[in-house]
Chain A
Amino acid sequence: MNGERKEQRPVVSPARTQAGIYPTLARVPGAQLLFVGPLACTRHGLISTLQQLHGRIAFLCLTDTEVATGRYLDKTVRAAQEVARRRQAGCLILITCCQNALLGTDYEQLTARIREETGLASGYLEVNRLALYAKGKLPLMSRPAGQLVYEFLAPREKSPRPWVNLLGPAGVEPDSEADAFLRAAGVERVRTPERCADFAAYQEMAGAHLNVALTHDAEETARELEGRLGIPWLPLNAEYDEGLLECQYTRLGEFFGYDAAGWLSQRRGRLAQRLARLQKALPSGVEVDGRNTGGALALTRWLWEQGVPVERVLLDSFSSPEDEARAWLAQQHPETALCRQTYRPAINEGCPAQARRGTGEARFPTGYERFHQVLDQLMGEREERER
């Protein structure tokens, strides 16, 4: 069946730019999530949330009668009140599912009612999996979940000293390359939602001098925040493209009056040295797994440029389109098969061990870290042994 692996070959994946809806929304400190829908929908993606999000998420499972009679509207408000009463909430996010694509509930109005009844800042996310077969022409969500993470920021005065927000997925640690660069450029405080101790600290992010978009998806959020909060933004999201990455770092440095040349030359040198050391040991063929993430085709292109043939790229409905890299591949290396996994595997694969009792989000690499992460995947153990 399409998507099955026929032979063992090294598999590499691009940095994970997307996480599940629940963990993404739970990045807002103090946010309470309330999923409203039938049992069949509220059970989705449950395994990852059972432990990690305990106390952060509640489910309102509707009967078909409640849906048919519209009683679910009042019930949703009552459930929100109960969440507000029983849990220390900074804000409330309603999540709903495909069935609402048919019902057409006015969630703007419903969340306004909830704000009125509970006094809590409220937002919502509608998920419509019916759009999965629209070949990317229809959004799966009423807005990107990553964008909703910043919805509760309200305009406020700029901080006296330079603060920067890193916009993108979770897992950007304070010792990331982006953090190191910004500190070198004189930035006093670098924030992500999960680095904020509580909802009040999170709201201080609105006083930042600059937003840095770490992924392509985050650019839309950055634009929205620029319009709403007046925070300018710059990208640091070059996917496996050294030239573009250097440009982005240079512009970022310029914003703070910092000459990035020396810093960049150091990073460039380190990557080049590692590549030179590994050149002979790099595998003669790899597979790229781009399911549930973006940047797979850009990674494929970079691998080819390093002399590593890519035999196959696995994609799915959640992979990003990457038109430019796709066109380059079609022209330069048409032998690379792009496989879209439409059907689930014919054999039940079971649950990955780490999912059983939960592990934290993986570290998200920034800047040159992305290249090193790929080399770690390809060579990690072998390189370690050789040393």
Chain B
Amino acid sequence: MDLPPFSPDSSGFASALSGTDGMGLVDDVRGCSGNYYGSEETRRGIPVRVFVSQLGNEDAILGTEGVLLRRCGELAKQLAPEFVLLCSSPIASLIGTDLEGAAGRLGKQLGLPTAWVDLSGHDSYEVGLSATLKVMARALSQPGQTLPGTVNLLGPNYLDWCNEDMAALRGWAEQEGGLAVTAVYGGEARLAQLRESGRAAVNWVMSASGLEAARWMKEQYGIPFFRGAPFGADWAAQLLTMAGSGREDWTPPVPGTGGGRALLIGEQYACDALRRLLYGRLGFSSARVCSFFRMDRACMLPGDCRLREEGELTELLKEEYDLIIGDPMLRRCGPHRGRWIDLPHLPVSSWLWSDLRPRLLGGAADRWLAAELGRDDTEEE
């Protein structure tokens, strides 16, 4: 009751497409893409790549395919996209528009790779992001002979990560790890890169939203994957090594012996990386990762949990913690004990504190946490 609605699945769809050379169309009324461009897209000056079909009352009665094909045709002339993805939102999903059929016809009409993502506007952003990345892999990647030493980065995205980390990611992976990055699913992927991504030697899943695409590519192309957000110098270095070998995956972190207890709330892989930092650098003995968004069971530790409603967080906050890391909006869920460090998360608090999102890539997370813990927090509480 005290939290805002979280980013919807259509925002995950928009985020996945926003930096690409493709185009997205949400089959619904005006406003469904406005959620994203009005509340969540923080990159000023980038071209708008996601639109709505602009349904009216008559379309809801007579069917939305006509208006969808017409609008896509108009927009494709203006934008010259390399591929097109469609998705539903509440109206079109309720009337059951056949987007699969529409995507087939649109593909023929435009002569472009076209596919649809099965969304309804009722789920949260990570459902949309995950489904869109999987569809991108399925519809756009092509199998072929493996390119040794190459890696796809799956799931880093502008909703979970700050813009600076997203912009630096590819260069960081290439320079720090000597990796050859084929495609960044969730970042600024081009069609040519996505096509070639089917030949990568290994997939690096950087957020839980990249997991579905990784599983699909493993099944179809046999590309192995490993998991972890490269936040914190030590864990990032381990992950870079895994990327080189392609044989290891996420392993549970080893708690410290200092006795501290922490609660981390946010995107699972990001929080898991910060937990490692708390264990390794600060000696915390216990750290729970909780999220209002889908979690990867394989990377959960005892005590980690998926939060279904805000009352569950209120209960969690009643427990004794020395440190809590989470979006500032989550403070509304009830009184807490222990130090609270803000980690703004766009799907929760929109643009409100987006300019305060810290850089976490590689050693930046160590520096951020040290600075936060060194700061006098009396003014924040």
Q: Do A and B bind each other?
A: yes
Please give the residue numbers on chain A whose beta carbons come within 8 Å of chain B beta carbons, in ascending order: 1, 35, 37-47, 49-51, 54-55, 58-59, 61-64, 67, 82-83, 86, 97-99, 101-103, 128-134, 138, 343-351, 355-357
Which one of B7, B32, B38, B47 contacts A47 once the chains associate, using CB atoms below 8 Å?
Answer: B38
CA distance A62 to B93 in the complex (A): 14
Report A-chain residues with C-beta under 8 Å of the C-beta of B318: none
Report B-chain residues with C-beta under 8 Å of the C-beta of A102: 60, 91, 94-95
Asked if A43 and B7 sit within 8 Å, CB to CB, the answer is yes
Report B-chain residues with C-beta under 8 Å of the C-beta of A343: 51
CB distance from A33 to the nearest CB of B (A): 12
Asked if A46 and B1 sit within 8 Å, CB to CB, the answer is no
Closest partner residue, chain B, to A51 (CB atom):
B352
Asked if B90 and A344 sit within 8 Å, CB to CB, the answer is no
Asked if B91 and A50 sit within 8 Å, CB to CB, the answer is no
Report A-chain residues with C-beta under 8 Å of the C-beta of B43: 348, 350
Which one of A43, A44, A54, A355 contacts B332 once the chains associate, using CB atoms below 8 Å?
Answer: A54
CB<8 Å pairs between A and B, sample of 23? A38-B120, A38-B121, A39-B6, A39-B121, A40-B32, A43-B6, A44-B34, A46-B39, A47-B38, A50-B349, A58-B1, A61-B5, A63-B122, A64-B120, A97-B90, A98-B29, A103-B94, A130-B91, A131-B57, A138-B57, A344-B34, A347-B47, A355-B351
Asked if A39 and B5 sit within 8 Å, CB to CB, the answer is yes
Given contacts A1-B78, A41-B121, A98-B91, contact A344 B329 (CB under 8 A): no
Closest partner residue, chain B, to A40 (CB atom):
B121
Closest partner residue, chain A, to B56 (CB atom):
A133
Stretch in B8-16, B99-107, B281-289 with 4+ CB within 8 Å of A: B8-16
Q: Is B4 close to A, CB under 8 A?
A: yes
> When each residue 158-180 of chain B gets 1 if its CB lies under 8 Å from chain A and 0 otherwise, what string results?
00000000000000000000000
CB distance from A377 to the nearest CB of B (A): 25
The tally of CB-CB contacts under 8 A between chains A and B is 156
Closest partner residue, chain A, to B75 (CB atom):
A343
Asked if B35 and A44 sit within 8 Å, CB to CB, the answer is yes
Asked if B48 and A130 sit within 8 Å, CB to CB, the answer is no
Report B-chain residues with C-beta under 8 Å of the C-beta of A83: 1
Q: Is B241 close to A, CB under 8 A?
A: no
Q: Is B312 close to A, CB under 8 A?
A: no
Report B-chain residues with C-beta under 8 Å of the C-beta of A50: 4, 329, 349-350, 352
Closest partner residue, chain A, to B45 (CB atom):
A347
> When each residue 111-128 of chain B gets 1 if its CB lies under 8 Å from chain A and 0 otherwise, what string results?
000000000111110000
Asked if A348 and B46 sit within 8 Å, CB to CB, the answer is yes
Q: Is B375 close to A, CB under 8 A?
A: no
Report B-chain residues with C-beta under 8 Å of the C-beta of A97: 90
Report A-chain residues with C-beta under 8 Å of the C-beta of B97: none
Report A-chain residues with C-beta under 8 Å of the C-beta of B48: 344-348
Report A-chain residues with C-beta under 8 Å of the C-beta of B78: 1, 346
CA distance A270 to B90 in the complex (A): 54
CB distance from A46 to the nearest CB of B (A): 5
Asked if A43 and B56 sit within 8 Å, CB to CB, the answer is no
Q: Which 9 residue pairs across A and B have the least CB separation, nearest first?
A: A40-B121, A133-B56, A350-B44, A39-B8, A42-B5, A40-B8, A129-B29, A38-B90, A38-B122
Q: Is B30 close to A, CB under 8 A?
A: yes
Asked if A38 and B56 sit within 8 Å, CB to CB, the answer is no
CB distance from A76 to the nearest CB of B (A): 14
Asked if B355 and A356 sit within 8 Å, CB to CB, the answer is yes
Asked if B122 and A39 sit within 8 Å, CB to CB, the answer is yes
> When each residue 36-74 of chain B gets 1 if its CB lies under 8 Å from chain A and 0 otherwise, what string results?
011101111111100100111101100000000000000
Q: Is B31 close to A, CB under 8 A?
A: yes
